[in-house]
Amino acid sequence: MAKAENKTRPTDVSPAEFVAAVEHDTRRADSEVLLGWFEEVIGYTPKMWGASLIGYGRYHYKYDSGREGDMLITGFSPRKANLVLYIMPGYRDLSDKLARLGKHKIGKSCLYINKLADIDMDVLREIVEDGLAYMKENYDTWPE
């Protein structure tokens, strides 16, 4: 039986063009900031993953089940309800940083914020840098 392909894969869509088409004014403006901010913080060029994820870098994973693939190391998506930032190792022991971040919610590897004005960008930098360091230490990673 063939293994299912990952649905979220890199595309040739321009991240800047995708962001320019975001309808919500605040989400579009914040996404324009994040495009350059992520590139500056981790030094990787943005790449669209699937229809709505803007990713930076790539890592290879392999589960005990044998399923394996590639995924973005970090990135974001301007969703209708909020901005979603992807911190791939999740929030292992980041309670201190998260307490200082500002208004947010978290999922397993997702950080949900309404707008950049709600958070401390310096603390966000600490969280993203921590995630990148973890990924480089524990997975095969490379710039996209």
Domains recognised in the chain with CATH numbers: 15-139 (3.90.1150.200)
pLDDT value at residue 32:
98
How confident is the model over 108-115, as a mean pLDDT? 95
Three-state DSSP state, 143: coil
pLDDT value at residue 91:
76
How confident is the model over 13-27, as a mean pLDDT? 97
pLDDT value at residue 3:
60
Given a cut of 90, whether residue 72 has pLDDT beyond it is: yes
Whether this model's pTM surpasses 0.85: yes
- CA pair distance 117, 109, nearest whole angstrom: 21
pLDDT value at residue 61:
86
